[in-house]
Structure 1
């Protein structure tokens, strides 16, 4: 025992001795260094050498450090510090040391010792799906030759962990290790990286518990948490995952709910997460509600432009109302609705850009809050310069003619919003990316500049499709140029691949099958004359249809039906009742020529009909996006009229009708006479056709859009003895796409039923339809817009008005998907379930699949 103690004392003494020796040695070195380097003394650099493990050229390093021979430096001085800082800033080195060596009187050599950062060689990612690996590598810039720094490793770990935490994997752990590449012939140091991701189980919210809430129920408070929901098997749109960022935002929404109910002093005292063993958590939120308040007197101060009474009508908050701080804020300036009805918009829509409106509480006695709405109006502002950028294809004049903000005009926020909407409706730009930049506001001069940034999107479309229908294969080739420039049609340099930029529309279409061919051409100029929005359009079409022979199951080329049509139209925007209205008119002529073509509607197999008609339509379109509208409406009503030939052509249609009714269509001799009578009846088509359609778009929640729609159509005759014409009829049911019949019919979509199955074989003269759609976007990117939808709809068609009952309809419901790509237009698929039987059947129709090409619903 004594020996052990002596040894222990000896060891302690030796350790103390060693420490003393080391300290003494360091003192000698420091003394010697101080002897060589005098504090504050300037030395002239004699030589600069680069050492260490680096692949960079020495002269490059020296030049980059900005040190050079002959410079005067001070040990620890600013120039030396700047050199080290400059080298560190390059993010190329893992270690940097700068030494003073070979000190001789007033000269010194500088040694820069460097160790290069290793470069990334290969990366392996474990713990995630194969399809996500490239995404992780790209988002974190983990690619070969990237310098591997501690910052790169740390930020990558945090990014990946947060990425999966946002998806509900709250316990995600990420580990990143590197290993030097051995036996590498390359001189540079390189490392391989292993990224291990352990997502764990998805953590769901089992329960949300509130404490301290006596006035508002748990149910109401849970509803206030818009993105943080507890587990519920029937919830589809909102999952029960925990996302910290969304949760923090929801706590603000929780307090807003209290403020909306009069509790302006409410606050969250504490909140905590309770972890459970079954990979779930509970949230405990402790609130302090405070007392309930009501609005007292509200006075307006500083207003000269608008009266107190007018401002009160806009504010719409009265004395005695429950205090609602959120509503008060929205009625003063609603940031969610830039075109909303609020005080700020009323000032800014009439030039008062520099106005400020602030509510100030002047008293809160007895929980009654008296307010002063203090207004500083400022002077009216006028637009100074108005510009556009980003239009690489569309010519400036096409954009400027749509602008509702012009230099010298009074500033109007409403006109800026309207300009954004109308530029989006052109279809040449991505409506989601049109941004107005308010620049150089000058309260002294009362001027402001505005510049609109647009992003071009492909407005031309190629339609190339094939399918089976009408007894065979149908092929379609269509070219639509919606930003055409006809003035450059002979300019070879303008073909990129076609002349573009003047906002005109040119469309060519060819469709053919065994049973028919159709060719069409159309052109429109929206600003004919260039001074006002006066659209001039024309179209020309020709089609031929062959009669199907059920015996040979092939078309009979000797029996055909030709249609030649031409249309001229004009349209102009109206200013009353508001400038969303468009009045359009057109004159069209179609010649129907039948050659041994007896079928259904056409009892005169060898003959012809002429259709000269005038169409007038009034539409009002205020939607904010032509592809995915979130607000606005679209109404249209039209009347298509022929001349009343029976008033002057001298034909007794009463006598012809009586004779026709006395004949038997099944008797060959009578059938010939019926054909002669019908040829006389329909030599020149006499009819009137009235249609109405309305769509509304309402954003229920963020980007979730409700679209109700109603349609009605009626085809009538001036002379009942002459009868309703066999053309221009309505055929209800299916996907709404046209088919092989070319008799001027209109195909009305009603999903959940076969095409045209809800009308008689001869078509209908009356139809109505109701539809309700709920849409939600998957992506609204520039390359493609994709949204999902659900729908319920119903409709009916009849041939006589006495049979018409708008509520006796065939009903359906279903789901669908739409994809809009600029080059191909709209594509989609619908799965519809028909709840009612089609005419002639007993059982409900059931499920139908519909493919949508080039249509908007």
Structure 2
């Protein structure tokens, strides 16, 4: 370790040769005052950074203890090999001269001996940015400095081209050791030395080992499996693809706390969990032994509330009547959920910073526990300012108009949650958060943070198929167009046998009201071989939000089309539609939707009624009724989410033929999964779907997050049928599994479905790919 020296002797100079050196006996009896401070030897750290850290001012009495204390504080900076100090006597006092020997500026970091872990992985673990900085420093322990100096001292925390303190290098050593431990190595040793301006870490990697077995001793009332489930340290298991699970001692010691908490949650308040005993066998196998003394299990004797001024006891415990019974064994999970319920209820009234302490009072003699909730509801607050952050594309007003709170409003938790749900519903953001900041005793500012997602889809290219021949296409769909919250869609496709062109626009909050205006203009032409279908149409829409969760709207469709060149080989449903047609239709809908997140929903309902009628060459009237219910698991309090959807629709002619596009084609990705499109309804002898006058569909799904906010798994069961007469109703059933992947562009569903009672000759399995969301 570098040493520092205090040298108290006279240094002659040309200007002071006539000054006599006092005798040591006389000097001991004298008191010397500081005249000045001189700093020498600094190359990389500026003297103005060091001088404020020397607590000796001009005229101060200089003592050996003060100088030694100053040197200790300077050495704590960690950027010096040695620090020496000299005194120079003058007629007016003494000068202190500090001579620093700095550690070198590190321009590069190298590693020696790393064969199993790459150099890049080691650099990533250290988190060093390979760019130069100019200044360095850190603040000594218990030293007070001004903000400007503190900024300078902290300016060099990353990057190369600077001096690394001894403390920082030691932390880097620990990061290297931790990385090797995570990779399963033990007995790793790390040292370092300087090679000019290169900091070299010399690594002795040691040997690799894995967790072979975890042995639990003394547990009688909680099984080994339950205990090991709460542990992050896992043993080797081939079928779970854990071939060489590493031992991280830090994680293992945290596992001891997890085991203890498991017992406490089940009422074992006297439990003792020993520190783990680790044995290395055969040079590569860890055996971990954990001893538990369970002690007695306590029962719940009572629940009390202190300072509960706004709710009755029954109101708080209403949700827990089935699961909570006095005299049963203590259940820590229910106790915590009651605490959360209290906080939720009080924050809904505006006491946003409510605190609840749950005290457990033990009766060790009778093995009983009483839980007392002490409620500190705090104060209510009003919104002062709302600041928007993170919206590099969205304009502020797009976010503000979805917020359910405004300056001057009472700040309530339910308004935050509703605002978050509305912003997620736009589909523009991956993450949304709120950070309240106090500005006075009863006011706070609310910082709203959004993480924007990619909302544009652009496709340009060419394609060929037997159906459409050679075609060229270009399309763009842009949500949040120019940051306004509007949606623009434009598609252009040109080919000898295929054309599909359209332009659409949806304008949100027209006239600064919750009013949406939209239109779509489309032109299509497809030569199917046995017939040609073409149509030209225009469809304007208008909708309005009239309550918090309610929206209603109307739409018109003006369409001209033709099914021409129809051969005798064409499907019957095409033959009966042959010829030109005009269609003028109008629809009305009403919707109530309080789903919390349209991409990964966890709770809420969505109900819609749509009525439609049309006239022209063809005429019809139509109704569709649909409902979705999404609920989290409130029975076993798991992360599972249950989704149920039901839909019924009918269409009837008035006097003429029903347009082909208005029939119901049941079967496929969004109806009964496992079927091909339209095959869960009527079809002709060539297995072409005909469409039906009625549809009845039920969908049930159980979802579970695998990687939060990115990957969900689910199982489903569907039932449904398209039918013309109710006497023909006989539901088809399917079941399957799937994955939902949330990508920056859109959620993707991948699923496998199997029909349990398919009609003869119809495919009963299907792998599906859905761009969008089913629920």
Coarse TM-score class (shorter-chain normalised) = 0.7 to 0.9
Q: CA deviation at 1:616?
A: 1.4
The answer as to 2:503 corresponding to 1:521 is yes
Correspondence for 2:32 among 14, 17, 42: 42
The answer as to 2:479 corresponding to 1:479 is no
Q: Distance in 2 between matches of 1:370 and 1:417?
A: 33
Correspondence for 1:292 among 290, 294, 297: 297
Correspondence for 2:540 among 552, 567, 570: 567
Q: CA deviation at 1:564?
A: 1.1
- What does the per-residue CA deviation read over 1:290-342, in whole Å, with 9 as the maximum and x for residues that have no partner? 333323344445444333443453664443232334422331x22xxxxxxx1
| Structure 2 contact 564–579 (Cα < 8 Å) conserved | yes
Q: CA deviation at 1:622?
A: 1.9
What is the match of residue 730 of structure 2? Answer: 805
What is the match of residue 524 of structure 2? Answer: 544
What is the match of residue 146 of structure 2? Answer: none
Q: Distance in 1 between matches of 2:234 and 2:582?
A: 66
The answer as to 2:321 corresponding to 1:281 is no
Q: 1:97 to 1:385 in 2, by over 3 A?
A: same
What is the match of residue 661 of structure 2? Answer: 727
Q: CA deviation at 1:751?
A: 6.3
Secondary structure (helix, strand or coil) at the match of 1:523 reads: strand
Matches within 5 A, 1:352-751: 352-353=351-352, 357-359=356-358, 364=363, 366-370=366-370, 372-375=372-375, 381-390=380-389, 391=391, 393-431=393-431, 433-440=432-439, 442=441, 447-458=442-453, 460-464=455-459, 470-472=467-469, 476-484=473-481, 498=482, 500=483, 502-531=484-513, 533=514, 535-549=515-529, 561-574=534-547, 579-597=548-566, 599-600=570-571, 601-603=573-575, 604-623=577-596, 625-629=597-601, 631-642=602-613, 683-692=617-626, 694=628, 696=630, 698=632, 706=641, 708-710=643-645, 712=647, 714-718=649-653, 725-731=659-665, 736=669, 748=670
**Which structure 2 residue ranges, 5 or more long, are not aligned?**
1-6, 11-20, 131-158
| Structure 2 contact 383–411 (Cα < 8 Å) conserved | no
Secondary structure (helix, strand or coil) at the match of 1:510 reads: strand
Q: Distance in 1 between matches of 2:367 and 2:708?
A: 47
- What does the per-residue CA deviation read over 1:398-417, in whole Å, with 9 as the maximum and x for residues that have no partner? 43333333444444322222
Correspondence for 2:190 among 152, 175, 182: 175
The answer as to 2:171 corresponding to 1:155 is yes
Q: Distance in 1 between matches of 2:163 and 2:277?
A: 40
Q: CA deviation at 1:127?
A: 3.1
Q: Distance in 2 between matches of 1:131 and 1:840?
A: 62
- What does the per-residue CA deviation read over 1:606-650, in whole Å, with 9 as the maximum and x for residues that have no partner? 311414131314242322x44444x2135243334215x6xxxxx
Secondary structure (helix, strand or coil) at the match of 1:345 reads: helix
Secondary structure (helix, strand or coil) at the match of 1:42 reads: coil
Q: Distance in 2 between matches of 1:411 and 1:27?
A: 66
Q: Distance in 2 between matches of 1:573 and 1:172?
A: 68
Q: CA deviation at 1:572?
A: 1.7
Correspondence for 1:322 among 305, 315, 329: 329
Q: CA deviation at 1:770?
A: 3.3
Q: 1:134 to 1:481 in 2, by over 3 A?
A: farther
Matched residue count: 710
| Structure 2 contact 501–524 (Cα < 8 Å) conserved | no
Secondary structure (helix, strand or coil) at the match of 1:453 reads: strand
| Structure 1 contact 772–792 (Cα < 8 Å) conserved | yes
Secondary structure (helix, strand or coil) at the match of 2:232 reads: coil
Matches within 5 A, 1:113-128: 113-124=100-111, 126-128=114-116
Q: 1:819 to 1:131 in 2, by over 3 A?
A: farther
Q: 1:640 to 1:196 in 2, by over 3 A?
A: farther
Q: Distance in 1 between matches of 2:119 and 2:737?
A: 35
Q: 1:263 to 1:137 in 2, by over 3 A?
A: closer
Q: Distance in 1 between matches of 2:289 and 2:334?
A: 28
What is the match of residue 139 of structure 1? Answer: 127
| Structure 2 contact 608–625 (Cα < 8 Å) conserved | yes
Q: Distance in 2 between matches of 1:473 and 1:702?
A: 55
What is the match of residue 743 of structure 2? Answer: 820
Q: Distance in 2 between matches of 1:567 and 1:116?
A: 74
| Structure 1 contact 565–591 (Cα < 8 Å) conserved | no
Q: Distance in 1 between matches of 2:708 and 2:220?
A: 42
Secondary structure (helix, strand or coil) at the match of 2:337 reads: helix
Q: Distance in 2 between matches of 1:28 and 1:300?
A: 74
| Structure 1 contact 706–775 (Cα < 8 Å) conserved | yes
- What does the per-residue CA deviation read over 1:335-372, in whole Å, with 9 as the maximum and x for residues that have no partner? xxxxxxx1232223223456655555677363344555
The TM-score, its normalising length taken from structure 1, stands at 0.70
| Structure 1 contact 119–148 (Cα < 8 Å) conserved | yes
Q: CA deviation at 1:717?
A: 1.5
Q: CA deviation at 1:696?
A: 2.8
Q: CA deviation at 1:245?
A: 4.7
Q: Distance in 1 between matches of 2:447 and 2:403?
A: 10
Q: 1:197 to 1:596 in 2, by over 3 A?
A: farther
Q: 1:351 to 1:853 in 2, by over 3 A?
A: closer
Q: 1:479 to 1:710 in 2, by over 3 A?
A: same
Secondary structure (helix, strand or coil) at the match of 1:434 reads: strand
Q: CA deviation at 1:457?
A: 1.1
| Structure 2 contact 716–736 (Cα < 8 Å) conserved | yes
- What does the per-residue CA deviation read over 1:193-224, in whole Å, with 9 as the maximum and x for residues that have no partner? 2564738545235233131x33334344334x
Q: 1:526 to 1:239 in 2, by over 3 A?
A: farther
Q: Distance in 2 between matches of 1:258 and 1:323?
A: 10
Q: CA deviation at 1:158?
A: 1.5
- What does the per-residue CA deviation read over 1:20-45, in whole Å, with 9 as the maximum and x for residues that have no partner? xxxxxx9999x998468547632666
Q: CA deviation at 1:809?
A: 3.1
Q: Distance in 1 between matches of 2:656 and 2:241?
A: 57
Q: CA deviation at 1:818?
A: 2.5
| Structure 2 contact 79–164 (Cα < 8 Å) conserved | no
Q: CA deviation at 1:543?
A: 2.0
- What does the per-residue CA deviation read over 1:656-704, in whole Å, with 9 as the maximum and x for residues that have no partner? xxxxxxxxxxxxxxxxxxxxxxxxxx82231414252536364899996
What is the match of residue 143 of structure 2? Answer: none
Q: CA deviation at 1:768?
A: 3.1
Q: 1:845 to 1:33 in 2, by over 3 A?
A: farther
- What does the per-residue CA deviation read over 1:503-556, in whole Å, with 9 as the maximum and x for residues that have no partner? 33333333455433223333334433435x3x3222222122132448xxxxx9
Q: 1:450 to 1:803 in 2, by over 3 A?
A: farther
The TM-score, its normalising length taken from structure 2, stands at 0.77
Q: CA deviation at 1:560?
A: 5.1
**Which structure 1 residue ranges, 5 or more long, are not aligned?**
1-25, 181-188, 335-341, 485-497, 551-555, 646-681, 737-747, 781-785
| Structure 1 contact 693–711 (Cα < 8 Å) conserved | yes
What is the match of residue 764 of structure 1? Answer: 691
Q: CA deviation at 1:855?
A: 5.8
Correspondence for 1:216 among 203, 206, 222: 222
Secondary structure (helix, strand or coil) at the match of 2:620 reads: coil
